[in-house]
Structure 1
């Protein structure tokens, strides 16, 4: 009988764990996807774990292996949504030095995503009013741009936390308008322009920054 080397034994030991880990990741992602579909249709408070199990086509016991409460599900979905799209926006804006312009880019891209994907937007809008984790994730990405814009002299506001609330509230309201079919011509640019004005940018500067071409991938 041949004896396995230490490397072979380690590989043999790790392989089942790796497969199991990947399966758990797939199951968890499936639950998050199902929750996203539910939150797009119903208010967060109306959605329970039993309904999530039915939507995801799994047993209730399976859900409890990943989440204990509805609040845990909401937090996980919200943070995943905000992180994924905010990081995408940050990547697109990496070459933009103007903090005020980066804020305008973020607001516009969230609204344009809402226009293109109403279900995604509907879920995010429902969650953002319920989950502190999602708001904190969004705020983290906006905060640095606010500070940079103020340091550069493009923005002027009396309180950073209020400025954060203004950006997030206006962006999500713009998304809600898109979901409800109440957009106007150049909706994304107009919301971004008004946000910048609210943050202390001059009318001329706000209009200019809000109407600049959006950065494109791989530019």
Structure 2
């Protein structure tokens, strides 16, 4: 499991030695929280659990996060932002919103299959903090709008469309963690999502069959 990238860590600005140390400590706390949330529900986690995982004092944690809710939100934002930004980089140059949406859903599902710790933590944080659900939806909003404008997608309500995409993707993660995922889950699910969003069966099949972009 690779470390998360903290979206609040502004590495573009010059940092003093003290700022760098503080950023590293905060990042370490986020990574420790990810490991804890992968093992147990957020609501059942105390800041003392995080302190033990990160091998720091509870007082150190309070220097960065005042409550468990604040910590869970930070972890969720980091998880959602890191992965969504990775998808955006790989989808750069893809003009079709429906195609970008398909790439995102497929990669989301495949990530869960290869990184169960990430998947488990993300599910628990989403269940605990609705703001993370909204953050994930925000990352696919433009793809939905572009897919609608280009005439590939045809849905009546944007909010319901966003909920559908997030619910299907997180449901697929749960199926993977529970050992219920069928072979080719990413392709099957993405084709069904596109059809549910108004794409014709032929168009949904064609988009989903496109090869995924490769990093580098």
Same structural fold, with TM-score higher than 0.5 when normalized by the shorter chain? yes
The alpha-carbon deviation at position 129 of structure 1 amounts to 2.0
TM-score by length of 2: 0.91
Which of 39, 42, 60 is the matching residue for 2:40?
Answer: 42
Q: Which moved more, 1:145-154 or 1:121-130?
A: 121-130
Equivalences, count: 203
| Distance in 1 (alpha carbons) for counterparts of 2:40 and 2:63 | 24
Counterpart of 1:203 in structure 2 is 201
1:1-219 equivalence runs, <5 A? 18-218=16-216
Long gaps (5+) in structure 1: 1-14
The alpha-carbon deviation at position 59 of structure 1 amounts to 0.4
The alpha-carbon deviation at position 41 of structure 1 amounts to 0.6
The alpha-carbon deviation at position 93 of structure 1 amounts to 0.7
The alpha-carbon deviation at position 182 of structure 1 amounts to 1.4
| Distance in 1 (alpha carbons) for counterparts of 2:156 and 2:58 | 49
Q: Which one has a larger percent helix, Structure 1 or Structure 2?
A: 1
The alpha-carbon deviation at position 44 of structure 1 amounts to 1.1
Secondary structure, counterpart of 2:16 in structure 1: helix
| Distance in 2 (alpha carbons) for counterparts of 1:86 and 1:95 | 16
Secondary structure, counterpart of 1:129 in structure 2: helix
Larger Rg: 1
The alpha-carbon deviation at position 126 of structure 1 amounts to 1.1
* 1:50-104 CA-partner distances (Å, limit 9, x unpaired): 1111111110100000001110000000000110110000111111111111111
Alignment RMSD: 1.3
Counterpart of 2:6 in structure 1 is none
TM-score by length of 1: 0.90
* 1:23-44 CA-partner distances (Å, limit 9, x unpaired): 1111111111111001101111
The alpha-carbon deviation at position 177 of structure 1 amounts to 1.3
| Distance in 1 (alpha carbons) for counterparts of 2:201 and 2:128 | 33
The alpha-carbon deviation at position 150 of structure 1 amounts to 0.2
The alpha-carbon deviation at position 133 of structure 1 amounts to 2.7
Long gaps (5+) in structure 2: 1-13
Q: Which moved more, 1:97-106 or 1:130-139?
A: 130-139
